[in-house]
């Protein structure tokens, strides 16, 4: 008889893949759709009221990445360290890339955006927001890399018969 009950590690990896995919897609959506409402670098304007109105940090990100992705990243670091072979390598790469994203998010992106949401429409605000946007590309790369590596780990989990 085949054991259809997935292990806790398999559940963590599946959830990690799903949440990373959501975070990546939402990050691209925010960058392409919402950021132009907040920042007009060509015209030299920062629209803090639009950022406050959207309030994506509390309306969305807190429920997807701030809590869940952070916990799944930490759980993945532990579970990946217990794995072996290619599964271990890909899962650790995914978890380390996600950890890099989490560290940047908590040390720079969240505090900077909180400050920008209270900032006036001034040249300094536009400069800070423009830097935030440029550095956000790095965050997209980290999340995409983590997602693709986690997908690869998931394929190795399937090969081993653990998923």
Q: What is the pLDDT of residues 116-153, one digit of tens each?
A: 999 999 999 999 999 999 999 999 999 999 999 999 99
Mean pLDDT of all residues in 36-52 = 91
Question: Three-state secondary structure along the chain?
Answer: CCCCCCCHHHHHHHHHHHHHHHHHHHHHHHHHHHHHHHEECCCCEECHHHHHHHCHHHHHHHHHHHHHHHHHHHHHHHHHHHCCHHHHHHHHHHHHHHHHHHHHHHHHHHHHHHHHHCCCCCHHHHHHHHHHHHHHHHHHHHHHHHHHHHHHHHHHHHHHCCC
pTM exceeds 0.85 for this model:
yes
């Amino acid at each position: 008889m085949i054991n259809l009950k997935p292990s806790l590690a398999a559940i963590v990896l599946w959830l990690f893949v799903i949440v990373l995919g959501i975070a990546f897609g939402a990050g691209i959506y925010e960058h392409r759709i919402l950021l132009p409402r907040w920042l007009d670098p060509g015209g030299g304007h920062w629209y803090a009221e639009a950022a406050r109105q959207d309030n994506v940090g509390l309306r969305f990100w807190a429920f997807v990445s701030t809590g869940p992705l952070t916990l799944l990243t930490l759980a993945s670091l532990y579970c990946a360290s217990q794995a072996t072979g290619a599964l271990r390598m890909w899962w650790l790469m995914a978890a380390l890339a996600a950890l890099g994203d989490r560290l940047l998010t908590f040390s720079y992106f969240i505090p900077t955006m909180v400050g920008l949401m209270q900032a006036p429409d001034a040249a300094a605000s536009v400069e800070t927001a423009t830097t935030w946007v440029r550095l956000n590309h790095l965050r997209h790369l980290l999340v995409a890399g983590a997602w693709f590596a986690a997908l690869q780990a998931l394929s190795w989990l399937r090969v081993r018969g653990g998923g």
